[in-house]
Structures are given as C-alpha cells and as structure tokens.
Amino acid sequence: MDGGEERELVHLAPDECWTLLGERGVGRLGVVVDGEPVVVPVNYVVDDNAIVFRTDPRSRIAGALVGMPTAFEVDWIDHDAESGWSVLVRGRAVEVREPDVLHRIGGSGPRPWAPGPRTRIMRITPSSVTGRRLLHGAPAGLWWG
Amino acid sequence: MTGQTTPGVRRLEELSVAECLGFLARSYLGRLAFVRDGLPELLPVNYRLHEGSVVFRTTYGPLLDAVHLSRVAFEIDRLDAASHTGWSVVVHGKAEEVSDPAELQRLRALPLRPWAPGERDHYVRIAASAITGRRIT
C-alpha cells in the first residue's frame, strides 16, 4: 500500500456476501448447456442461505439446469464513487419441492424476469460463496482478474 | 420511461442487433461466462465496444488461458428488480487474444486501464457469432 492511487480488491467473508445478496434481487445465472456457457439474468430471493428463483420449464436453460453445477453472480457498482462489489455463488441447482418452502416463498418469492407462466422454483444450495469489494476507484480494465 | 408500466402486464420484446450494439456501446460493465474444467464460470469485467466487438483487458494469466479461443457468453443488463422491467443483451462468440500490433495500438487508446499497473496486460476480443437482447416493459 503506497498511496492514494492504490486500488484494492478486498475479499468478503461469507456472512458479508449473504448480507449483500439479500440487498439485491437480480442476478445472473451461468450454466453449461451442450458444453457451451450460457448466462441469463434472473430475479431471485435469498431463502435459508440459498438462492431461490423461478424458471420456465419450457426454456432452453431449464432442461440443462436440474442437478447441474451453476455459477450465480450478483454485483453492484457505484459509477460515481467508482466502487462496488461482486458475489459469486457456486452450487448445483435443484427443484424446490418441499411444501413448506413453496408456501414460504410462494407469495413473496421472486417473479420471473420475463413475463409468462414460469412455474418451476429452483434453489442453488451453495458449495461456495465468494465475494470481493472494490475500493478506491473502479479499474477500467478487468474488475476481478 | 419510468412509471409507465401497468402492474402485472409486461411485454417482452426482442431487440434488434443494432439496438443491442447500441446498449453495448453505452455500457462498460458486463459479465463474462465461460467454461473451465467443465464448470460454468461467471465474472464481471469492464469492457468497451471497439469496432463492433466487445473488448476487455486482463493481466490475469489463468483467465486468459481459460478463455482464449474458447466459447464465451457476455451479458449486460439494466434490470429493475421492483418493477421487473428493463433490458438485457447477450453476446455469444469466441474469445481471442488480440495480437495484431496495429490493432493493439488502437486498443491502447481505449479507456481500459488494467487494475494491476506494471504487469503485462492482454486485450481479449469476443468474435461474436450471435448478439441477442430483449426488453421488458
């Protein structure tokens, strides 16, 4: 650390990551479909330290999702203050079937981002949760490299 | 265009490639998705649209190794979690390190600073095979 020009990436503790995840409602879901990366934005809620979202069972991603490893990313950047954070949740996606959970999130749960009948509720139970906060100005190159 | 939506009645509209490029030209933070060891990876990157292509800069060798000549997906969006409206754009294509000296010279004029000064940096371009987007109002 040698002065005000330093830009700093700070690793976030898991509980900080969960706090930040709870503050947002839109994330991006990454999954491998036929060997290729696919990314879609989804609305989500945090429920019992898991990410819960809805998918359209007819969508391309839905069939590739069940039981598969996912990367779920949420970020926030303050362009004026040139600061921000990013949290990455890794884990397998499973369909939520427990009646108590469905009841709990049914009324207030995440609406799908796109309109249409999206009925399958999915959960990512994390195998890891990592996050970084950027201090002292956003680099205009790669954020997290 | 805020406050124009009717609750519960949202409309999905596919964006043209020109509209997608317009959003890409006006944004500078996106998320890069790629596959490493068979697993999905997703991370935010600062980028610029340069001569119609998404370009980002990295000093991080493992990332470069993972994406160079690999299929990637690159996403930008502006979505409102409360109203469930907004737009998103996804670029699918192959990432490739830029090595042509003349192009590198042009890229160095872009406002893409590396975050770790002094280290050797690399420019990566996404050669797009598809650019799709949608808007929900």
Q: Mutate which of B46, B47, B74 to disrupt the A interface (most A C-beta within 10 Å)?
A: B46
Average pLDDT over residues B2-19: 74
Q: Could you tell me if A131 and A20 are in contact, meaning their C-beta atoms sit under 8 angstroms apart?
A: yes
Give the number of A-B residue pairs with CB atoms closer than 8 Å. Answer: 137
pLDDT one-digit tens code per residue, A29-72: 999 999 999 999 998 999 989 999 988 777 778 888 888 999 99
Check residue B45 and give its pLDDT: 86
The letter for the amino acid at B78 is R
Chain A residues with CB under 8 Å of B136 CB are: 113-115
> Which residues, listed in sequence order, are joined to residue A26 by a DSSP beta bridge?
A43
User: Measured between CB atoms, does B68 come within 8 Å of chain A?
Assistant: no
Check residue A3 and give its pLDDT: 36
pLDDT one-digit tens code per residue, A71-83: 999 999 876 666 7
Place of tokens 């709990």: A104
Residue A22: how many other CB atoms lie within 10 Å:
11
Which residues, including other chains, have CB under 8 Å from residue B62's CB and lie 6 or more apart? none
Strands (E) across chain A are located at 8-12, 26-33, 36-43, 45-46, 51-55, 69-78, 83-95, 120-135
Tokens of A58: 């007819």
Chain A residues with CB under 8 Å of B121 CB are: 141
Averaged confidence pLDDT in chain A: 81
Q: Mutate which of A39, A51, A90 to disrupt the B interface (most B C-beta within 10 Å)?
A: A39
Check residue B8 and give its pLDDT: 60
Check residue B117 and give its pLDDT: 46
